[in-house]
Structure 1
Amino acid sequence: MARPNAGTKGVPRLDRETQILDIASEHFGTHGFAATSVAAVAAGAGISKPLVYSYFGSKEGLYEACLERGGALLADEMERIAAGEAVGIERGMQTLAALFSLLEERRYLWRLFFDTTAPTDGPARDSIARHADRIGRLADEGVTELMALAGNTDALDVSAMTSVWLGIVDSLMNWWVEHPDQTADQMMQRCLRLLAALFGDTP
């Protein structure tokens, strides 16, 4: 009798799930939810479609699992920076550096959360909203510190600046995805040059 935690062909279940999620995340992040098929994911993993369904239930369930894992990776890294001593623009730069390092070999993870073809209801939509809220709260906290250092505690100014910061990060990540030859270190140096061009100095 097969062990309950056994995978296929001697591969432990947890290892097989990780393999499927790795391949599925790349497909979803690169091609989008609508253009990704369970058959393509199964073929990439060298397994059958029924096995994918037995692990995740449906295409939506597979997508939600990718979102949960990817969202936790991103938010956990941002929280690690937030728990440190850096504040203001230094915290922002450290956050960017950490994200570039984390995503260098899996940039497609960023686009998982900005897919216009993703389900608009159900668990997948809830997962996107939950992780977006978690990341948004961290961004708001960092921007609030930055604005306070500049002597500005106006709630609407903080809200506007938070939107600006999130837009900048998203734009940088999307630009990076479209320029795969650029390393994490090159992107960080570019950000510092851009900051210097805007403000005449780098932190």
Structure 2
Amino acid sequence: MSSPAPSSTAGTKGVPRAERERQIVEVASVAFGTDGFAATNVASVARTAGISKPLVYQYFGSKEGLYAACLDAAGELLGDEIERIAGSGAVGIERGVRTLDGMFAVLEDRRHVWRLLHDATAPSTGEVDRIRRSHTDRIEALAHEGVSELLALAGLEDPMDVSAMTATWLGIVDSLMDWWVAHPQESAEQMVQRVGRLVVALFVEAQGQR
């Protein structure tokens, strides 16, 4: 009698497929986030993960498919943290500062995630682009919500004001995170303290000089 066909949930060496996929995504995320999409090869990822190259293609279909899975995991990591802060009850400047603090915390030991999310060599079409847009749209919507609350406290409700300030806020976040990634000696706690000092200098002190 012939043996039954392997289950679609089966992994390798007794590891469930979902767990094996997660392990591969973790290894690939480091590679993509460190070397970039263009310079990363599937064979190297497979070797580091301790599996065969064909298995990566079996699970993810292509290098682009593997990158899309890594991008999805990275987007969920940041999006979930930003959404958690949004639901904490913080408003205005406090919400913005807490958001940055949360991002520093979740990326403390995996700054490669930020590079992965902003890789200029990655595909800009197809499934990768769709996944990237789904996460950036979510993050932008949360930023828009926070900025709307902040400006409303100052009596500003013009949609174009909100749009302009949302773009400015997102630019500030990107710049701070890029700076942090470029200075690996800076810990998350140091960045939290630095942001606190900058907020005081830019907003509190400025208010006091009026």
Shorter-chain TM range is over 0.9
2:144 paired residue number:
140
1:17 paired residue number:
21
CA RMSD of aligned residues (A): 1.4
2:158 matched to 1:154? yes
> Residues 11-160 of structure 1: matches in 2 within 5 Å?
11-160=15-164
Query: Runs of 5+ in structure 1 lacking a partner?
Result: none
2:208 paired residue number:
none
- Secondary structure of the residue that 1:200 maps to in structure 2? helix
Structure 2 CA distance for aligned equivalents of residues 192 and 119 of structure 1 = 37
Structure 1 CA distance for aligned equivalents of residues 18 and 127 of structure 2 = 22
Paired letter, 1:121: T
Deviations 1:114-157 (Å, cap 9, x if unpaired)? 21111121000111111111100000000010111111112111
- Structure 1 length normalisation: TM-score? 0.94
2:181 matched to 1:177? yes
Identical counterparts, % of pairs: 62
Structure 2 CA distance for aligned equivalents of residues 197 and 43 of structure 1 = 49
- Secondary structure of the residue that 1:36 maps to in structure 2? coil
Deviation at 1:3, TM superposition (A): 5.4
1:118–1:125 Cα contact (<8 Å) kept: no
Deviations 1:24-74 (Å, cap 9, x if unpaired)? 111111221111111111111111110111110100100111111111111
Paired letter, 1:54: Q
Greater gyration radius: 2
Paired letter, 1:132: T
Structure 2 CA distance for aligned equivalents of residues 28 and 177 of structure 1 = 15
Residue 193 of structure 1: which of 158, 172, 197 is its match?
197
Deviation at 1:111, TM superposition (A): 2.1
Query: Runs of 5+ in structure 2 lacking a partner?
Result: 206-210
